[in-house]
Amino acid sequence: MKVFKVKDIQYHQEGLSRLVGFSIDKPAVNQCFDWPLIEIGGWVVGKDRPITEVEFTLQVLNLPLQVAPINLQREDVERLLPQVKNSKNSGFYNYFSAIGLPPEFKILVNAIDCDREVIPMADITIESKGDLKIKTDDLSFFQPILVSALPRSGTTWLIQLLIAHPAIIGYPHYPYELRAAGYWWHACRVLTMPSGLTGLSHPDLFWFDLQRISGNPSFSIFHGDIIDWFKDTYINRVLLHYKLVIDKFYKYLAKTYNKSNAIFFIEKQSVPYYSWLAWELYSKTREIFLVRDWRDVFCSILAFNSKRDTMRFGRELVDNDIAFAHRLIQGISNIHQQFIMRSNCVLLVRYEDLVLNTSNELKRILDYIGVDSDSSTIKMVMEQTHLRDPFLEQRRIGRSAHESIGRWKHDLSPEFQEKINFVFKDYLQLFGYS
Amino acid sequence: MSRCILAKNIQLYDQSAQLIGCGIDIPAADQSFDWPLITIAGWVIGKDEPIREVEVALLAENEVLQILPVNIPRPDVASFLPHVPQSEKSGFYGYLSAIGLPKQFEIVISAIDFNKTVIPLANVVFESDPEDYRYRDFVRLQPIMLNALARSGTTWLARLLIAHPEVVGYPVYPYEMRAASYWLHACRVLTTPSNRVGIAHPDLFWFDLQHISSPPFYSAFNEDLLKWFNDTYVNLIALEYKFTIQSFYDYIAKKLKKKKVTYFVEKQTVPNRSWLIYDLYSKPREIFLVRDWRDVFCSIIAFNNKRGVVTFGREGMESDAAFAYRLGADIANLRREYHTRADRALLVRYEELLLNPEHELKRILDYIGVDATLSTIRAMLRQANKPDPLLQQHRTSRSERESIGRWKRDLSPELQEVVNAVFREHLEAFGYA
């Protein structure tokens, strides 16, 4: 059985300039929780502006995972701060679900004031041990292959190659980016989250949005008498249901596209952090980290944007190309971090090796996946992939795959090359590029 | 034969003051669609402000069902209006799901500009074939939905029904757990085709860990997958949520040591959402609980005073008289919903339930189709009448009998005149003189 242990809590003293005071009463260091719920509770009082809620944010993605309204009575705090107006109802308490989180993760506990200003209170580091029961109950017919990569790293081509294999099904249309399982896994995360008791997870408010839903309002700290059903039955139901939906979906694709021998489905994963859930849910998950000389990735993105006359892939968020290179580093750093955390079970593939030595590299990939990798299959896969896809042609920026290797030397001025070499230097070395 | 939805009538608005032009290509009058999807397509160009999106709302409830971005290339419009820059991408195209909508319903299609100005383009009346049986049953537990305004006696009725051996509900005051209602709502949201906007976009759904929208690939951009979504996915979701609801209420029943439950009961605050239970279940029951609206009005005000908080819509009003008008709108809504389902729902008057409980409970239990013997009814009343301190807090009059006609004592003659005038038509409609 999986359990979570609180490894460390770091308090942010700088928040005290905007707070009268705060405390995290729960969890304590070394406190353990059974999968999947972790409790956070305490109190907080704002100095100039009232605090309306506390947000539990997943540090690595900087996304709020859960909220807890500030409205619980704290007579002890009122006694401690008798002159302070908001001290009586300054308490907060809620659970969050750790489904799909890695073996170690950090939660930022932030106070949110009435102007939506974020005031850091504490960082909580939590580690997990043990396996999830649901993986052993794996009733899925199809197992996932996830391709984690930055855009313009060759994922489209790799997926095109792999879905030509008889044992692998994927959405067979350009740009091969149907994230059906990705969406349903995400639904698993959202729908198994206990209620934040605000907005659409409030029992009186969920009705009023026909476009979005949040966690079930009845799955909350106010209904301790039924929490066991949610923990033991509901969460398992949700996870198993969406695995079934994914299975049915890929069965339909396999039937539609005459792939009766398919046993794996493949999807691109643009947020590699989310792969943890697939590793939790499936017994034979496969994950490929596809990397490419980051300087070529950088050039390919700029060229793709120029060709389409658009600004995408994050270039639209910064003022100039060098700032974009620095922005790209964040994505590369995430890829690296995730790769290191799962390096014992994932496969690293270099785009350049795939281009220059396709059959060898394909054999290595298929052996990792655990499907037929004999030379006739590889030949057939390569032949099928070489049947030109007009959409893929549109996507291609270099004249040929070979020419796309080292393109940064042609595309960039010597001065810019120097700058880019400096920016990417560490991450090039980490992935074996000189 | 598959279920069809027919566009019966289309009424277009003249918006030439605000628009360069617009066209509704689909639906056309008399066009029919295979259930559950209705196609909405056309083009629209704003005069002073560009149009950002097209909104499809249920006319009666003013409830937004779908939002479609205006960004589809329309070369035909561009050649027709060559000097208008927005004409090239003036198209909209997408689907609306009819799951959970009434047999006959009217939508309003409106353009929304960048200032959020709403410009109605057309009203369309649809009529669908009788309810589908595809999603029906496979589950044992059937729903009883209680529709009422706040302070109409739903807490008492829910408490009574939960005391029946064949009915289960969350047994804790104020009996307002809406677990099934949430899952039924989830069923609607998750089976709505994607508009590919915000977290319904295939690249953006990841970035919200607290909300989820419809599947991004259930959209007009993935026509090759539509059949699977319509035939398989919608069924999978509907069945899963029905089983989840059953599993939840079986758990509650087990805790309550109730071994032969066949119904679960929940209060429903948005009565038009009940349509979904008629799509999903074979024996849904729906009770509309009404009360002299003047007493409802007094009870709300007394309850607010007792708790020292202002809720139930009174908080948004400047005076009690203004609140009466607001309540009048809610009553009209409840009344409309009752009339659309009067053939299958049961009307219960609070006063009759209090004054003649055995008779009224028999009528209710007969309607539900569960044991309605006198011994069972008396056991229910004994159980419901057991002292409950929380229920005591809920009360705002000394006794149930005193709660009937309280408006004559609680209100000033002036306010009596106001509520009599505001509620007159609704009082008559529900049999109150």
Contact check, Cβ <8 Å, A217/B251: no
Comparing CA positions, the residue from B31, B80, B50, B49 lying closest to residue B41 is: B31
- Residue A194 is given by DSSP the state P
In A, minimum Cα distance to B239 occurs at: A241
Describe the crossing of helices B413-429 and B293-307 by its angle, rounded to 10 degrees. Answer: 130
Query: Which burial class, exposed, middle or buried, applies to A48 when counting CB atoms under 10 A from its CB (0-12, 13-18, 19+)?
Result: exposed
Contacts of A386 (CB under 8 A, 6+ apart): none
Cα gap B270→B259, rounded to integer Å: 31
Give chain A's largest Cα–Cα span: 81
> E strand or H helix at A5, and its extent?
strand A3-11
Please enumerate in sequence order all residues whose Cβ is within 8 A of that of A49, keeping only pairs 6 or more positions apart, or say none.
Answer: A18, A113, A114, A115, A117
Q: Which residue of B has its CA nearest to A239?
A: B240
CB-nearest partner of B232 from A179, A248, A274 = A248
Structure tokens at A127: 């580690």
Q: CA–CA separation, B146 vs A24, rounded Å?
A: 42
- List the beta bridge partners of residue B263: B142, B167
The half-sphere exposure of A374 on its side-chain side, counting CA atoms within 13 A, is 1
For residue A317, the SS3 value is helix
DSSP-derived letter for residue B260 is -
Distance CA B154, CA B176 (A): 9
B16-B19-B23-B28 Cα dihedral, nearest 10 degrees: -60
Mutate to test the interface with B, among A99, A205, A212 (most CBs of B within 10 A): A212
Structure tokens at B347: 């009307």
Residue B238 CA to residue A176 CA, distance in Å, equals 29
pLDDT at B392: 67
Query: For B216, which of A58, A173, A183 is closest by C-beta distance?
Result: A183
Q: Is A274 near chain B, with CB under 8 Å?
A: yes
The reported pLDDT for the residue numbered A392 is 53
Is beta strand B263-268 parallel, antiparallel or unpaired with respect to B118-128? Answer: unpaired
Interface test with A, best of B173, B209, B249, B270 (most A CBs within 10 A): B209
The residues with which B148 forms a beta bridge, in sequence order, are: none
| Tokens 């008779």, residue located | B359
Would you write out chain A's pLDDT as a tens digit for each of its 434 residues? 889 999 999 999 888 899 999 999 999 999 999 999 999 999 999 998 999 999 999 999 999 999 999 999 999 999 999 999 889 999 999 999 999 999 999 999 999 999 999 999 999 999 998 877 666 567 899 999 999 999 999 999 999 999 999 999 999 988 888 999 999 999 999 999 999 988 999 988 998 899 999 999 999 999 999 999 999 999 999 999 999 999 999 999 999 999 999 999 999 998 888 999 999 999 999 999 999 999 999 999 999 888 888 888 888 888 898 999 999 999 999 999 999 999 999 999 999 999 999 999 999 999 999 999 999 999 999 998 876 555 555 555 556 777 789 899 999 999 999 999 999 999 999 998 87
* Contact in structure between B20 and B47 (CB atoms under 8 Å): yes
Separation of alpha carbons A71 and A67, rounded Å: 12
Torsion angle of C-alpha atoms B217, B221, B223, B229, degrees rounded to 10: 20
Query: Quick check: B213 and A212 CB within 8 A?
Result: yes
pLDDT of B144 = 97
Whole-Å CA distances, A215 to A185, A195, A226, A248, B15: 14, 5, 15, 24, 41
Give how far Cα A381 sits from Cα of A30, A266, A377, B46, Å. 52, 15, 6, 51
CA distance B217 to B363: 48
Of A65, A210, A225, the CB nearest to B192: A210
If one counts every other C-beta atom within 10 angstroms of the C-beta of residue B385, the result is 13
Two tokens, residue A96: 């969050």
Intra-chain end-to-end CA distance of chain B, in Å = 48
Are B60 and B34 contacting, i.e. CB atoms less than 8 angstroms apart?
no
Contact residues on chain B for A65, CB-CB shorter than 8 A? 209-210
Long-range CB contacts (within 8 A, 24+) of B387-396: B388/B173, B390/B172, B390/B173, B390/B174, B391/B155, B391/B159, B391/B173, B394/B155, B394/B173, B394/B174, B394/B303, B396/B299, B396/B302, B396/B303, B396/B306
What three-state secondary structure class fits A226?
Answer: helix
* Residues in chain B with pLDDT values less than 70: 1, 131-136, 389-398
Cβ pair A213:B189 closer than 8 A: yes
Nearest CA in chain A to B62: A208
Pair B22, B112: CB distance under 8 Å: no
C-beta atoms of B202 and A183 within 8 A: yes
Complex ipTM, two decimals? Answer: 0.91
Beta strands in A81-152 (DSSP E): 91-97, 104-113, 118-129, 143-148
- Coil, strand or helix: which one is B249? helix
Q: How far is CA B228 from CA A248, A369, B65, B136, in A?
A: 9, 28, 22, 19
A64 preceded by cis ω (within 30°)? no
CB A77 within 8 Å of CB A44:
no
Strand partners for A221: none
Point out which residues pair with B288 in neighbouring strands.
B147, B347
How far is Cα A243 from Cα A211, in angstroms, rounded to an integer? 23
Q: Under 8 Å CB-to-CB from B375, ≥6 apart: which residues?
A: none
pLDDT value at position A55?
97
Q: What is the DSSP letter of A427?
A: H
Residue A270 confidence (pLDDT): 81
Which of B182, B210, B215 comes nearest A218 by C-beta? B182
pLDDT value for B60: 83
Task: Give me the pLDDT at residue A134, please.
Answer: 65
Residues 6+ apart with CB under 8 A from A226: A218, B170, B248, B251, B252
Tokens linked to B377: 């009814």
**Nearest chain A Cα distance for residue B271, angstroms:** 11
Q: What is the DSSP string of B199-218?
A: GGSTTTGGG-SS-B-S-TTS
